């Protein structure tokens, strides 16, 4: 099988390469999935240079989350059959034509989602859910300000905040990004970062300011 393997911890992903590997066999309690799509998350990129808290032994196959079809089941697995469409996650290993994960790490793929959509939603929406629901306890009618709203987690936060009944201000750095946010998710307002940003937020919220501020970190960890 083809896989994206990290062989050395280098900047700019120079230590990663496409390689041919043997198809893994599932062990007890595990499922092998034929991967149809894998998502790229911030931790995936950090792990290619050893900058994430999880540091797998080299070499390793990158990839936190995926969507695909059950290809084989290990001893003791119940609830999954060959051919089932699933989404799942693991600490790494998703960026390959086949991956093996614990059966408990899988969920049914939503019928309405394409493979690539199903692969990309779990981490982003779980991050948004924990932030908005468990941490911020967002209430309907509150103003939620989302910095870096054009990325995966940012878009998920805009979408979920709207679903929770909040009023959403999305912030992005370029006109192209702002147009895409407005077209895809239609928040209450889409504004640019930079000079006049504070005044724009105050004007939108009748001088009150945002009730919840969600900051998406960029590759420096400082935010966008």
115-145 pLDDT, tens per residue? 999 999 999 999 999 999 999 999 999 999 9
Q: Which residues contact 123 (CB under 8 A, 6 or more apart)?
A: 39, 41, 64, 65, 89, 152
What value does the mean pLDDT take over residues 189-207?
A: 91
Judge if pTM exceeds 0.75. yes
* pLDDT of residue 216 exceeding 90: no
> Is the link from the previous residue into 86 a cis peptide, with omega within 30 of 0?
no
Tell me what pLDDT residue 217 has.
60
Q: Round to whole Å and give the CA distance between 6 and 48.
A: 6
Tell me what pLDDT residue 151 has.
87
């Amino acid at each position: 099988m083809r896989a994206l393997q990290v062989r050395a911890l280098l900047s700019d992903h120079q230590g990663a390469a496409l390689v041919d590997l043997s198809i893994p066999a599932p062990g007890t309690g595990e499922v092998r999935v034929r991967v149809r799509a894998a998502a790229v998350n911030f931790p995936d990129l950090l792990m290619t240079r050893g900058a994430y808290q999880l540091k797998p032994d080299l070499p390793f196959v990158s990839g936190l989350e995926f969507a695909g079809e059950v290809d084989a089941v290990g001893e003791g697995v119940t609830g999954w059959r060959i051919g089932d469409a699933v989404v799942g996650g693991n600490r790494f290993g998703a960026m390959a034509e086949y991956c093996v994960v614990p059966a408990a790490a899988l969920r049914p793929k939503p019928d309405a989602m394409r493979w690539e959509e199903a692969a990309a939603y779990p981490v982003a929406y779980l991050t948004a859910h924990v932030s908005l629901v468990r941490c911020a306890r967002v209430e309907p009618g509150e103003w939620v300000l989302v910095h870096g709203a054009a990325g995966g987690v940012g878009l998920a936060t805009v979408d979920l905040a709207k679903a929770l009944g909040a009023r959403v201000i999305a912030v992005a750095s370029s006109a192209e990004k702002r147009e895409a946010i407005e077209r895809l998710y239609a928040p209450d307002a889409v504004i640019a970062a930079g000079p006049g940003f504070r005044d724009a937020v105050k004007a939108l919220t009748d001088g009150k300011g945002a009730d919840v501020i969600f900051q998406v970190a960029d590759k420096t960890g400082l935010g966008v």
